[in-house]
Structure 1
Amino acid sequence: MFEAVNGEVVEPAIATRFYPDVAAGTGTLVWATRRRPTHEELVWAWPAREAAGSGELARGWWQPAIEVLREERRRAASLERARATRRSEATR
């Protein structure tokens, strides 16, 4: 999930060094902050009708296919259950 985009332009050399699979093409890359989506956000996410193409992959973000979305939902639910268990054990 993107949380903020500040508009600061990423220098091409830095982008290539840290994100070699992301291509700016004719556009400009800018810095953004992101976080893992919650299980609820993943449940509400709408899957892509078809797999991501090379343009989406080069851009660095794309709408996930249902198979990927299901796996991420499973992981997020497991992570949230583990956090809840740790919190309840800490309060004992």
Structure 2
Amino acid sequence: MSDEFTSHGAALDDEGLAAALDLAKVSAAQLWAVLAVETSGNGFYPDRRPKILYERHVFSRLTQQKFDAQHSDLSSTPPRQLWCNGAASI
């Protein structure tokens, strides 16, 4: 399996926005507020790869801290720096 991203992600159009709002049962303002915070204003990188926020403290909690000691770069508590597709963010 290749790690190369091959999709052609498209921007959310009016129809897609309406469908997302209906599915999430939220207002447009609420959806855009979450998108602005969680994606720094854009859900895709320039090459159209989706931004994915990795939260090591959530992984730690879900695995009962099993990996915290030997893999603190992937699993730790309390929350530390977050990683989004290899780029650090706070």
Bigger fraction of residues in strand: 1
Bigger radius of gyration: 1
TM-score by length of 1: 0.24
Higher helix residue share: 1
